[in-house]
Structure 1
Amino acid sequence: MFQLLQPAVCRTLSSGIRSFSSTAAKRVLQGGNATSSKLKPLLWTTALAATGLLAWQSSSTIQLDAEPVQAEETIDPASGIAFPNTLKVQSKQPLPTFELVGVGVRTVSFLGIKVYSVGLYADLNGPKLNISKSATPEEKIEHIIRNSVCVLRIAVRVRLVPTRSTSFSHLRDGFMRALQARLVLAKQRNSITADEELAVQSPLRKFKSMFPGTPLPKGQALDILLAPPEFSQQRSLIVRDLGSVQSDWLAHEFFLAYFEGDGLSPPLKKSVAEKLKDFGN
């Protein structure tokens, strides 16, 4: 079992950690199979744990070592990748058990290349979730993202056919295209001011810089966590093993990009909408 960060270590790390090298990801993302029947614990680096801790609450210790609860699994029919139905992130500051809301495959190009499977996890019992059962799927999804702790799990498997080599830089480029598209859409809708657009440029640059050029091994999972909403500070988007960035706009829009229109993965949106059909008060 992983040891929690001691306060003295956190103070030392906080003064020196501002970026994450590709070697950290390569050391952690070796071996393992995220799709086996007994999923191995996800190794969150101490650097990420310290960053997540400082981004959430300076007075609390957060250990971003995630252990999936050994429970039933849901299989993405397009890829055969298994997602645990519940996911637990261990921490001294109690976090909820995440429930799998839906899964789907991300497909790009006219050849129909399947890049990865993605699963959305959320705390569907959160106290801030108060929405009518008659709300549209899009309204329910946005309400959950803005008011609940969420995780996106991205997984690649050898048996994806047709398939392509996936690296962190490929994922980064896709993420940045999606975020830039969200920015253009926000300007068209007049939902972001010029000052807000300028303010989000720095978080966007930091987010882009976190991803190394190394491959994402097939059979491995990458978790991206949307930290709990805090009244006094911006929300954190934490990428396992790579780092975190604080920005309400970036954190929300990263998740919402998967569900705008058909979404980045239409099967994911369809799966989530079906799960939420009877959700609400």
Structure 2
Amino acid sequence: MSWIQPRLVRNIVQSCRSFSASASSRLASRSSALTKTALSHRRSYTSSALFWGSAFAAAAGLALQSTVHLDAEAAPPPAEEETRVDPATSIEFPTTLKINSRTPLPTFTLMGVGVRTVSFLGIKVYSVGFYADLTNPKLEDATPEEKIEYIVRNRACVLRIVPTRSTSYSHLRDGFMRALQARQLLCRQRGQLTPDEELAIQSPLRKLKSMFPNTPLAKHSPLDILITAPSPKQPRTLIVRDLGSVQSDWLASEFVLAYFEGKGISPPLKEAVVDYVKTHL
């Protein structure tokens, strides 16, 4: 039995060594297999994530494009404003004029346009459009000149002046003041202006003159001059856009009537307004 024990021990040791080697090999093989499986799953997950991420991005992009496209289709096109062109200057005037104001103002209708020229060379200074509130004018059995005067004396009116070249407020002011001085003389000769009335209008005239700054007025920049309708509560107001206002019945009416006296400050404007009155009123 003594020989059996050493042999048995040797066999046990060899078996343990063999099992240990095969176990290490199996463990290494199993570990490699597990690693490959994990990598495979990881690659599959990564590919899947990339695919859905790309799909989501594409879907989002398509949705965004669709939304923009629909918004663009749903947006209404801007309304095209109807205009009238001064043939002498190619300057456009809207056929109707709505002026924002704290107190409601009527919609003004364009009655005519024309060019203002100076000197024998015929230099074009500005184009002017005449607008008026034509609501129920009641102008039957009157000449075109009488109808124009009635509108100016009884309705809110606007003169829109658009320089054809860069000028200055003071240059326009000087022209306005000369025209008003001529109106004073004419009204005095016609007996339409008493000495007391002439004295009373000097303060409004000075205020009007002082409103115009000695600064440039850019080419094609519109300058609106509005006169309010007569009111039993207060004198008419002449308003120069962005510059100020002055109250005087005489000044408001005569400022605008100067454009229609005789040939007018702008003969083409008067001709156009007379034609409009003949056709529409």
* Residue 101 (str. 1) matches residue 108 (str. 2): no
Q: How many Å apart are 1:228 and its aligned residue?
A: 2.2
Q: How many Å apart are 1:90 and its aligned residue?
A: 2.2
Unaligned runs of 5+ in 1: 1-68, 159-164
Q: How many Å apart are 1:71 and its aligned residue?
A: 2.2
* Residue 224 (str. 1) matches residue 207 (str. 2): no
Q: Higher RCO, 1 or 2 (CA under 8 Å, sep at least 6)? A: 1
| Count, aligned residues | 203
Q: How many Å apart are 1:140 and its aligned residue?
A: 0.8
Q: How does 1:59-98 map to 2 (within 5 A)?
A: 71-98=81-108
SS of residue matched to 1:185: helix
User: After superposition, what is the alpha-carbon deviation per residue over 1:238-270, rounded to whole angstroms, capped at 9, x for unaligned?
Assistant: 000100000000000000000000000000000
Unaligned runs of 5+ in 2: 1-78
Higher helix share: 2
Letter in 2 for 1:271: A
CA distance in 2, matches of 1:147, 1:191: 17
> 1:262 maps to which residue?
263
User: After superposition, what is the alpha-carbon deviation per residue over 1:189-237, rounded to whole angstroms, capped at 9, x for unaligned?
Assistant: 1111110000000000000000001111002000000112211211000
Q: Label 1:181 to 1:218 Cα distance change in 2 as closer, same or farther (>3 A).
A: same
* Residue 157 (str. 1) matches residue 164 (str. 2): yes
SS of residue matched to 2:98: strand
User: After superposition, what is the alpha-carbon deviation per residue over 1:91-142, rounded to whole angstroms, capped at 9, x for unaligned?
Assistant: 35332111101000000101101100000011111x4x2221x411110111
Letter in 1 for 2:181: Q
RMSD, matched Cα: 1.4
The list of structure 1 runs, each at least 4 consecutive aligned residues, that deviate by more than 6 angstroms after superposition, is none
Letter in 2 for 1:264: I
Contact 1:70 1:84 in 2 (8 A): no
CA distance in 1, matches of 2:116, 2:180: 16
Q: Label 1:70 to 1:214 Cα distance change in 2 as closer, same or farther (>3 A).
A: farther
Q: How does 1:241-256 map to 2 (within 5 A)?
A: 241-256=242-257
Letter in 2 for 1:130: K
CA distance in 2, matches of 1:157, 1:188: 35
Alignment partner for residue 131 of structure 1, among 130, 139, 146? 139
Contact 2:111 2:276 in 1 (8 A): yes
Contact 1:226 1:235 in 2 (8 A): yes
CA distance in 2, matches of 1:191, 1:98: 29
CA distance in 2, matches of 1:198, 1:108: 30
Identity %: 66
CA distance in 1, matches of 2:244, 2:148: 25
TM-score, normalising length: structure 1? 0.70
CA distance in 1, matches of 2:112, 2:214: 29
> 1:148 maps to which residue?
155
Letter in 2 for 1:269: K
Structure with max Cα Rg? 2
User: After superposition, what is the alpha-carbon deviation per residue over 1:3-51, rounded to whole angstroms, capped at 9, x for unaligned?
Assistant: xxxxxxxxxxxxxxxxxxxxxxxxxxxxxxxxxxxxxxxxxxxxxxxxx
CA distance in 2, matches of 1:72, 1:140: 25
Q: How many Å apart are 1:89 and its aligned residue?
A: 1.4
